[in-house]
Amino acid sequence: MKKRIATIFTIAALVISANGCKDKAKEANTKEAETVATAEASSEKYTANIAESTIEWKGFKPTGTHNGTINIENGVFNVTDGKINSGTFLIDMKSIKVADIPKEDEYNGKLTGHLKSADFFDVEKHPSSAFEITGISEVDGKTMLSGNLTLKDAKNNVTFPVTVSNTDGALILTSETFTIDRSKWNVKYGSKSFFDDLGDKFINDDIELKITVKATKS
């Protein structure tokens, strides 16, 4: 009977994991860091509105998911003829929040603290992350944004689809939901990319992200 129950739980965990994989967004094209784009002489400067900008995140494990937000610390876009040609924004890693667990729940604080610890993003040593634009292109009717993403002590270039609107001095950049492989930024805790004895206690390497940055002409 015990073996049967154990088998049922194992199958359930695998089903949850498989369904989670199906629901995950496409991974951003990731490669070595590239040369950062520079502002054109005729560029207009747009400064990020921090209160209206955010990054939504979701993490996956065999038994379910967690999600939350991270704040944008500051940011600047350089725009020519209504189109972004360069820019950068900093990410406030100290602001990591967990949204799927009530704030008053003790586990909310424990999970938030764990994400900020050296096991994950080591916020004490690396309080800010950065995204620096290296290029923008049109592919199959979509706007693709490329940039160097720095997390902890690693930097990689990622490319993902975005929508950009620019009306009356208000610019809004919104990414499609995409994933990054945290192991490429040396975020090792619970990763099967680094440890082979985790059994079903692993945490998926994929982190799902959606970026929204609102900016106004400086």
pLDDT tens-digit series, residues 30-67: 999 999 999 999 999 999 999 999 999 999 988 899 99
pLDDT at 103: 95
Name the pairing type of β-strands 44-48 and 178-181.
Answer: unpaired
Residue 27 is classified by DSSP as: B
- 212 DSSP β-pair partners: 54, 174
pLDDT at 168: 86
Find the mean pLDDT for residues 89-100.
Answer: 98
pLDDT at 15: 38
pLDDT at 12: 40
CATH homologous superfamily of 2-217: Lipid/polyisoprenoid-binding, YceI-like (2.40.128.110)
Can you read off the two tokens belonging to residue 36? Answer: 């950062």
Q: Which residue has the higher pLDDT, 191 or 6?
A: 191
pLDDT at 23: 64
| Nearest by Cα to 129 from 152, 110, 103 | 152
- 75 DSSP β-pair partners: 89
* Element housing 116 (H / E): helix 106-116
Q: Which residue has the higher pLDDT, 142 or 195?
A: 142
pLDDT at 190: 82
| Nearest by Cα to 170 from 39, 72, 42, 49 | 49
Find the mean pLDDT for residues 111-135.
Answer: 97
pLDDT at 144: 97
pTM of the full structure: 0.86
- 131 DSSP β-pair partners: 89, 149
* pLDDT at 22 > cutoff 60: no
Q: Do residues 176 and 161 touch, judged by C-beta distance below 8 A?
A: yes
Nearby residues of 130 by Cβ (< 8 Å), 6 or more positions away: 88, 89, 90, 91, 148, 149, 150
Residue with tokens 């619970």: 190
d(CA 157, CA 13): 33
Q: For residue 199, name the pLDDT band (cuts at 50, 70, 90).
A: low
Nearby residues of 160 by Cβ (< 8 Å), 6 or more positions away: 28, 29, 144, 145, 175, 176, 178
